[in-house]
Amino acid sequence: MKLNVIFSPVQSDELFFTGKTTVVIDVLRASSTIIAALENGAKEVVPVGTIEFAVKVSGGMFGGQTLLGGERNTKKIEGFALGNSPSEYTKEIVSGKTIVFYSTNGSRAIVKAKYSDNLFICSFSNIEALADHLIKLNEDVLILCSGDNNFFSLEDSVCAGKLVKEITGKNSNVILTDSSNAARAMYKTFGKDIKKMLRETEHGQLLVKNGYENDLEFCSRLNGTNVIPVYSGSTLKVLK
Amino acid sequence: MKLNVIFSPVQSDELFFTGKTTVVIDVLRASSTIIAALENGAKEVVPVGTIEFAVKVSGGMFGGQTLLGGERNTKKIEGFALGNSPSEYTKEIVSGKTIVFYSTNGSRAIVKAKYSDNLFICSFSNIEALADHLIKLNEDVLILCSGDNNFFSLEDSVCAGKLVKEITGKNSNVILTDSSNAARAMYKTFGKDIKKMLRETEHGQLLVKNGYENDLEFCSRLNGTNVIPVYSGSTLKVLK
């Protein structure tokens, strides 16, 4: 079992993912939000690569059953019912609903990886559950950090490193690459206090500045949920 | 003074570098080789982005004064006088010569960064000298890791981290980004034994497999030279 990490989606193209088992991470905040939505009973999340496509897709579904959610450069999009704060995705609001979801980095990374054989979403909150599932699956795993507009994002890389550490801790038969080795080292250095780490990253600072400080608390939650979003037929649902 | 690191050239385009102070790193082996060539009296190194262009450029120069050097996927190129082993670039061979140089990752990264205001080449061997110069220059610095065919390379990132550490150790007024912070952490984890680190990277293993183990010794040399290659008018010369 080989674990590889890609620190930015721009480092690969769509066909690169064909046949692979891929894990997409966008700690701040898309993957945390998608997990929260499914945890709170959303029927499914449909990740889309453009805002225009989000509007088009949602128009074709049953009005009352579909919600548009997401953000562009951390801010809510005009005409969208929900932003990208995981705390907005409560039981009352999302239960039974289809969420059409766009975000600057996360949803686009998921769409880019759509040709994967297995495609899962990871945040700090479901790392243990996902690590156990990946060990059972016993395939090589490609961990794709959504990054920040093509650039490196520390929080995604530290989360990738935690997933690597969790898997290598439970399975001695794992091969690491340069990048998965580096990610694990980053978790070791920055992972002791996840909330502090999130506050100090570039994206964390931007969120605090824009009034989303509470989201850092939410997104720093380590483990505690067994919800693993899995991509199939263009939508994300809870892995059964 | 802000230090930023880009882990792969594919994360930016040529115009991104306009007006910037850029440091290009390709530890295995382009930047180590370029420094060795200039240390041993080469008049200049002309980095090129394609093999075809290397042949074209060298044809237009004075035959006896020009040498073609470099590699494609670690191997010497047919018709080229020199490969990409720094030990080939001896005084006897390169003194007074113009070297037209192509390599899979390094020379292409340099060419991509050509619109930089200041463009320097860094390997482990000139880190201290380069750090001192950058501190004097007192500009924001972009450290570009050449990476490995668009992917992450641990040795370049650890070298970038050592440069970050050297500068932050001598200058308390430095702002780090997510990536420069991560690179410094990688140096802390992997930098204790540089030769061992090089042997364990993906590219280091490939070089050993292809018979270039001696190059790892050469490329692991920390400091010891004051040669800083600087790019100007399409060529790299020793910074005076």
The pLDDT, as a whole number, for residue A226 is 97
Selected for mutation to probe chain A from B11, B152, B179 (highest A CB count within 10 Å) is B152
Residue A62, pLDDT > 60, answer no
Q: Does B206 touch chain A (CB under 8 A)?
A: no
Q: Does A10 touch chain B (CB under 8 A)?
A: yes
Among partner residues B5, B10, B179, which is closest to A10 by beta-carbon distance? B10
Inter-chain residue contact A177 with B202, CB threshold 8 Å:
yes
Do residues A110 and A47 touch, judged by C-beta distance below 8 A? yes
Inter-chain residue contact A185 with B185, CB threshold 8 Å:
yes
Print burial letters for A191-225: b (CB count within 10 Å at least 16), e (below 16). beebbebbbbbbbbeebeeeebeebbebbbbeeeb
Q: Does A150 touch chain B (CB under 8 A)?
A: yes
Residue A61, pLDDT > 80, answer no
- Residue A173, classified by CB atoms within 10 Å of its CB into exposed (0-12), middle (13-18) or buried (19+), is exposed
User: B161 by DSSP, 3-state: which?
Assistant: helix
Among partner residues B8, B177, B182, which is closest to A11 by beta-carbon distance? B8
The pLDDT, as a whole number, for residue A65 is 87
Pairing of strands B235-238, B175-176: unpaired
The pLDDT, as a whole number, for residue B58 is 79
A contacts of B157 (beta carbons < 8 Å): 182
Residue whose pair of structure tokens reads 């790299």 in the numeric block: B236
Task: Provide the mean pLDDT of chain A.
Answer: 95
The structure tokens listed for A227 are 């919800």
Shortest distance between the Cα of B98 and any Cα of chain A, in A, equals 34
Residue A44, pLDDT > 80, answer yes
Give pLDDT tens digits for A131-182: 999 999 999 999 999 999 999 999 999 999 999 999 999 998 999 999 999 9
Residue type, A137: L
The percent of residues above 90 in pLDDT, for chain A, comes to 92
Inter-chain residue contact A189 with B185, CB threshold 8 Å:
yes
Q: How far apart are CA A162 and CA A190, in angstroms?
A: 10
Shortest distance between the Cα of A122 and any Cα of chain B, in A, equals 20
The pLDDT, as a whole number, for residue B12 is 95
Residue whose pair of structure tokens reads 């290598």 in the numeric block: A168
pTM: 0.96
The pLDDT, as a whole number, for residue A63 is 61
Residue A85, pLDDT > 70, answer yes
The structure tokens listed for A157 are 């890389």
Q: How far apart are CA A138 and CA A140, in angstroms?
A: 7
CB proximity list for B206: less than 8 A, separation 6 or greater:
B74
pLDDT by residue for chain B (240 residues), tens digit each? Answer: 999 999 999 999 999 999 999 999 999 999 999 999 999 999 999 999 999 998 888 776 656 789 999 999 888 999 899 999 999 999 999 999 999 999 999 999 999 999 999 999 999 999 999 999 999 999 999 999 999 999 999 999 999 999 999 999 999 899 999 999 999 999 999 999 999 999 999 999 999 999 999 999 999 999 999 999 999 999 999 999
CB A55: neighbour CB atoms within 10 A? 16
Q: Does A5 touch chain B (CB under 8 A)?
A: yes
The pLDDT, as a whole number, for residue B239 is 98
Q: What is the ipTM of this complex?
A: 0.94
The pLDDT, as a whole number, for residue B56 is 85
A contacts of B9 (beta carbons < 8 Å): none
